[in-house]
Structure 1
Amino acid sequence: MIRTRDREVTVHIATPSPAPSATPRHIPDLSLEGTRAGLTEAALEAFVRLADIWRLTSRQASALLGESERTWFRIKSRTWTGVLSQDALTRISATVGLYKGLHLLFSDPLADEWVRRPNTETVFGGDSPVDFMIKGGIPAMLETRGYVDALRGGL
């Protein structure tokens, strides 16, 4: 409080607030079967819809998922009762992120066809993005998603 001749004035001195702590984002512990079990149903629902939208063959869908065609048919018919692996959840996350990025970048028809079209960009070597991802597995899936994200960001 500061007193002048005529009045008292309360002064609040602003102190710098502490820097925000670098709290890490919450990343689910996918090493726990319970965590994976809780994510499996929604992840599979998203992937089945995505495979349909992208008009993937059973071979392509099962290869992207990292499962056998037999398992893919059971997943698609909703008779599979397993729990997805860390790898399968990562694969689904990459493809769903890719789907979202494509729809932010292109019109719906092109966004849905882009993964099947041959691509002359160096990263794809003339293959379609889906074939590139099947051949290269998770690293190629993440690279494809990063490529689309970079296009969106103007890089």
Structure 2
Amino acid sequence: MLQEVEKTRARPDSPRITAEEARAMARAVIRLFDKWQITAAQAQEVLGGLPARTYARWKAGDIGRIDRDLATRLSLLMGIHKGLRHLFTEPDRGYAWVRKPNRAFQGRAPIEVMAEGDIFSLQRVRAYLDAERGGW
């Protein structure tokens, strides 16, 4: 006998990323940037032009207030990481992918696209990975 599955609500109870979630993502992204082997300057641009002092504090574990734009960037980076983990069975290949030229980005490496600084560049890389793994 078939049973109807409860529908997922279109609007979640908590539509915003909480401060605790944002701090956890920030810690994860710092570790991710190390795995990606990108420069501090690239990391700062990916994070929307985060000042060098703030980035240094983050690396030292002192993560302060995270605004909505930065939380969205962190979320996109987590989605990029997730997409790479789905596409590559060997994590090191996924970490290296961000530094390799890619025809989808006119021969530029994905990190170059993400480091353009605007949030749309992050979304572009995320959408590419989602399409590659059949997400949308």
Q: TM-score, normalised by structure 1?
A: 0.74
Q: In structure 2, what residue type is equivalent to 1:108?
A: P
Matched, 1:90 2:75: no
Alignment gaps of 5+ in structure 2: none
| 1:24 match | 10
| 1:21 Cα deviation from its structure 2 partner | 6.4
Point out the structure with max Rg over C-alpha: 1
Matched, 1:54 2:54: no
| 1:28 Cα deviation from its structure 2 partner | 3.6
1:80-105 CA distances to partner (integer Å, 9 max, x unpaired)? Answer: 4x211111111111111111111111
- SS of 2:55's partner is helix
Q: Which moved more, 1:139-148 or 1:36-45?
A: 36-45
Alpha-carbon distance change, 57 to 27 in structure 1, aligned in 2, over 3 angstroms: farther
- SS of 1:116's partner is coil
Number of aligned residue pairs: 132
Matched, 1:112 2:98: no
Q: In structure 1, what residue type is equivalent to 2:103?
A: T
Alignment gaps of 5+ in structure 1: 1-16
Is the contact made by 1:36 and 1:85 (CA closer than 8 Å) also made in structure 2? no
Question: Could you list the runs of 4 or more consecutive aligned residues of structure 1 that deviate by over 6 angstroms after TM superposition?
Answer: none
| 1:25 Cα deviation from its structure 2 partner | 3.8
| 1:79 Cα deviation from its structure 2 partner | 3.0
Q: Percent identity?
A: 35
**Root mean square deviation, CA, Å:** 2.4
Alpha-carbon distance change, 110 to 130 in structure 1, aligned in 2, over 3 angstroms: same
Alpha-carbon distance change, 27 to 64 in structure 1, aligned in 2, over 3 angstroms: farther
Is the contact made by 1:36 and 1:83 (CA closer than 8 Å) also made in structure 2? no
1:91-129 CA distances to partner (integer Å, 9 max, x unpaired)? Answer: 1111111111111111322111001111122xx122110
Alpha-carbon distance change, 21 to 97 in structure 1, aligned in 2, over 3 angstroms: closer
Is the contact made by 2:27 and 2:61 (CA closer than 8 Å) also made in structure 1? no
| 1:130 Cα deviation from its structure 2 partner | 0.8
Is the contact made by 2:101 and 2:108 (CA closer than 8 Å) also made in structure 1? yes
- SS of 1:153's partner is coil
| 1:23 Cα deviation from its structure 2 partner | 2.8
Q: In structure 1, what residue type is equivalent to 2:37?
A: R
Q: TM-score, normalised by structure 2?
A: 0.83
| 1:64 Cα deviation from its structure 2 partner | 1.0
Q: In structure 2, what residue type is equivalent to 1:99?
A: H
